[in-house]
Amino acid sequence: MARTLLTFLLCIYLTLAFCVIYTDARKRVTKIGPDAVTPGRSNFTYICDPARYAQLGLDIKSFPFCDNKLSYQVRARDLVSQMTLYEKVRQLGNRAYGAPRIGLPEYEWWSEALHGLSNVGPGTFFDDSVAHATSFPTPILTTASFNESLWNTIGKAVSTEARALYNLGHAGLTFWSPTINVARDPRWGRIIETPGEDPFVVGTYAANYVRGLQDVEGTEHYKDLNSRPLKVSACCKHFTAYDVDNWKGVERYSFDAKVTEQDLAETFNRPFQMCVQNGDVSSVMCSYNRVNGIPACADPQLLKQTVRGDWNLHGYIVADCDSIEVMIKNHKWLNVDNETAVSYTLQAGLDLDCGVYYTDNVENAVKHGKVREALVDRSLQYLYVVLMRLGIFDGHSQYNSLGINDVCSNVHIELAAEAAREGIVLLKNDNGILPLATGKYPSLAVVGPHANASIAMIGNYAFDPWNKGTPCRYITPLNGFSSYGRVNYAAGCSNVHCPDGSLIGPAVQAATTSDATIIVAGIDLSIEAESRDRLDLLLPGKQADLINQVANASKGPVVLVIMSAGGLDISFAKNNPKINAILWSGYPGEEGGQAIADIIFGKYNPGGRLPVTWYQADYVDKLPLTSMQLRPDDSNGYPGRTYKFFNGPTVFPFGYGLSYTKFNYTLKAATTKLPIKLTKFQHCRDLPYKNGTFKPNCPAIAIDDLRCRKTFKLAVEVKNVGNRDGDEVVLVYSQPPVGIVGTHIKNLIAFQKVFVAAGTSKTIQFAINTCQGLGIVDSNGNALLPSGAHTIIIGDGAIVSPIQLTYG
């Protein structure tokens, strides 16, 4: 009894000696932290500090996992081998309990960094000593900039603030961001989190943002990627075919996504493949839904074969929170019990459970012979290699100096404003009414439910009001326009639902007495959000009435600003001559109000492009959200989805965006012929062609059978023929040979944003991999490179260039 008590007291002493305990609004977690700056912090910057082990009364030489001369794989294997089964399973949840016996502290895996640090997730917390972090625009708006370097730079800024909070004992270093599901349908509530509807754009955004988060300068091209140092660890989510949250009683927790192999390869999986292979992300999160009958987190083909095997993930796979419980209680998959469920997910390749099902059930599953302990060991090794790469075991000295002055710095605040300015899209500008001349309009009516928006601008996965923490500051539209004139403000509606017209009168009055009118309308998280899909594409309540009445009463120019993620049918405003200009501002982050005002008054020339199609309202009447097919479904009369497969009328198409200047394109050079010599091991594949169209003798070759080293090149001169400097986004599409059945209408294969001063020109060079630029996916999910006459389209069709691919 005395020995048991002594052991118990020793464990308590050891735990308190190296752990810092804090409590947030939902969970109590224990974390290691860096050198003490505030009371209650650990005195140790990293786990394998010799002084730390000495203070714990442990001999560090007895623990080879602390020998930094050994590889991370060897060290992780030793660490896991020193644990008992009970200790092992206690590390498999988002709250890893540590193992005091061997000096291993607790760790909380769950933090979020979708567009800045967040108080969502127990791994990061804010209080009076660290109260703020920079809140950048939500990804859907940042994507509209089509600026890869901007995406990367934001990632770097976010990871710098993350490292600073880690040093201050307020964050871990594992962040379950970004969200990279394709925005397949405009009704999906989480479009706010995504980079849009095009899988290539989504994947390119993911790779750049992840690189910004993870890359340690100078180690981007590390020889052994399993030991490449990490600034922070990112996670691409939610894999896969996840884009139904809660629609007409259908919830993500029980939804079975029926998808074809073609759509999986071509659309749903492609961004994740790019995130793993191009971004070298260190984690992938599986989703709640089933995919063709199997829960995504229990599917070995998706996790073990595809993510881990085919794509060669250097990291771990984590479940969306409580996914195992969802699998049992909502999907009722195979009517399995808890132990059987965790055995299936471990065997499928799921390493970490956000929740308690692994922690509570894996030990018995092993003891009862349902899963091998070796699989537990394998998962833990993946997890601890990531923590070692982060420096949690050995430290990353280059980040030791980061602290509170690196959070909400002037550079980061300006970057948030720049991101909003670059993403905002000009949708209408009749007679060049914008930009408004500074000083010409001394009084401004600023009206609408978002005219004084603050919290709405930062969207979700930012700062939940029930936890401490806020952005660095809010610059509302009202604040922004106040720097350009005397503002007459009227909300016009009590909120975005605008249930009646009782507040329209004051807004109309403001418009009649002001020199110019800005209406800031749209939707918010009460209409589109996680667990909240939309039923229609219209402005809610009386907002359209508010907009029309104010526009009709205004004595000066009228500018409509829309805040939303998904598209809205605002045809009434597009066609109303009294509404002179329209801007889409997404959810523009903490600096959004200033960015909107700066664009309207010409301090910045807009250059953003829509990353999603804005459909007409009746689109949602033609097909259910739950129909996963991208191509038109003629048997049910369903139209296609996204610009790649929908050829009907739109309010505004994908890639649309105006400028205050005008650009002309000239094709300076282009590859027109691509002969490919085949070996005896490369065999022709058939493709279905429409009757009456030419079919080559060798229709296609499997991309897996090709080396895919060839590129084709384009040189495009972009000339600014207007009188204002500006940014232009050059979009390059390909079309497959005419006649192939079931292919896309067009497919974005490259893009580049370029600044061109007024009256000057710049030439952009594109070198595009042939397989990536001209390949297609057939109905069986096979990636093929068709022969024949392909077509390259630049912009909205200003340049069309043929390219002939032949096999011989």
Secondary structure of 575-588 as H, E, C letters: CCCCCCEEEECCCC
Pull the structure tokens for residue 425: 């899209």
Segments of 32-161 assigned E as strands: 95-96, 107-108, 132-133
Please give the single-letter amino acid code of residue 766.
F
d(CA 288, CA 297): 7
CA distance linking residue 733 with residue 793, whole number of Å: 5
Per-residue model confidence (pLDDT) at position 295 = 98
Q: What is the pLDDT of residue 45?
A: 79
Residue 44 is predicted with a pLDDT of 62
Q: Report how far apart, in Å, the C-alpha atoms of 327 and of each of 277, 304, 711 are.
A: 29, 18, 45
Mean pLDDT by 10 residues, the chain (808 residues): 38 35 32 38 76 96 97 98 98 98 98 98 97 98 98 98 97 98 98 98 98 94 94 98 98 98 98 98 98 98 98 98 98 97 98 98 98 98 98 96 98 98 98 97 98 98 94 98 98 98 98 98 98 98 98 98 98 98 98 98 98 98 98 96 98 98 98 97 97 97 96 98 98 98 98 98 98 98 98 96 97
CB-CB contact of 208 with 148 (8 Å): yes
Could you tell me if residue 498 is left (phi over 0), alpha (psi between -120 and 50 degrees) or otherwise beta?
left
pLDDT of residue 93: 98
Q: Which residue has the tokens 């920079």?
A: 134
Three-state DSSP class for residue 367: helix
The Cα–Cα gap between 741 and 730 comes to: 29
Q: Return the structure tokens found at 218.
A: 């100078």
Give the position of tokens 């609408």.
448
Cβ contacts of residue 12 below 8 Å, gap of 6+?
A: none
Find the helix packing angle between 592-600 and 410-423, rounded to 10°. 50
* Distance separating alpha carbons of residues 727 and 660, to the nearest angstrom: 10
Cβ–Cβ < 8 Å for 142, 178: no
Q: Within the chain, how many helices (H) and strands (E) appear?
A: 21, 34
Beta-carbon contacts of 16 under 8 Å, excluding residues fewer than 6 positions away, are none
368 upstream amide cis, omega within 30 of 0: no
User: Whole-angstrom Cα distance, residue 356 to residue 262?
Assistant: 36
Active site residues: 320
Question: Tokens 């399993």 label which residue?
Answer: 226
From the list 196, 379, 359, 204, the residue with the least C-alpha distance to 283 is: 379
**φ and ψ of 238, to 5 deg:** -120, 120
Separation of alpha carbons 375 and 369, rounded Å: 12
CA 520-458-354 angle, to 5 degrees, is 145
